[in-house]
Amino acid sequence: MIKYDIKKINNKNIYFRPRLKMNISQELDKMITTVKARVEREIPDKGFFRSFAENFENKDSKLFGKYIAMSVERDELRDGEALLKLSVLHPNLPVDASNLLVAGNRKKILDYMNKENFKDEVENTVLKLSNSLKNTKF
């Protein structure tokens, strides 16, 4: 077992920094970018594709939800079409609040995600879903 002398490590200008809390807006940006790239890459014009989701843990005390997720699910009734959903998980119960953002083919989903106010719409929806979970009792 190797033993390290912390004083020598700190003298060599190696410092340990705590992780900074990321802003909810930055996390949403990352999630939206990732989902958009996956929609472009994984949804075909026709045929089968697997549903997928991207999520992150909420560390913002202003929001009530524990995890925030954006998912793309295959529409079982229409070939090559998908559903774009946004969900917020309750922090203590196995309950989530979700909202359908758009349904359609790849082009329609990408057009919707490329709208100028898409991020603002997602932020407002997350706030609404988070507030709706506050009244949930078990």
Interatomic CA distance for residues 11 and 53, integer angstroms: 45
Q: At what angle do helices 106-113 and 24-42 cross, to 10 degrees?
A: 160
For residue 7, name the pLDDT band (cuts at 50, 70, 90): low
What are 77-114's pLDDT values in tens digits? 887 789 999 999 988 888 889 999 999 999 999 999 99
What are 22-37's pLDDT values in tens digits? 578 888 999 999 999 9
Is the model's pTM score more than 0.85?
no
* CA dihedral angle for residue 115, residue 64, residue 129, residue 122, rounded to 10 degrees: 0
Asked if 60 contacts 85 with a C-beta cutoff of 8 angstroms, the reply is no
Q: Is the per-residue pLDDT at 4 higher than 60? A: no
Q: Is the per-residue pLDDT at 19 higher than 80? A: no
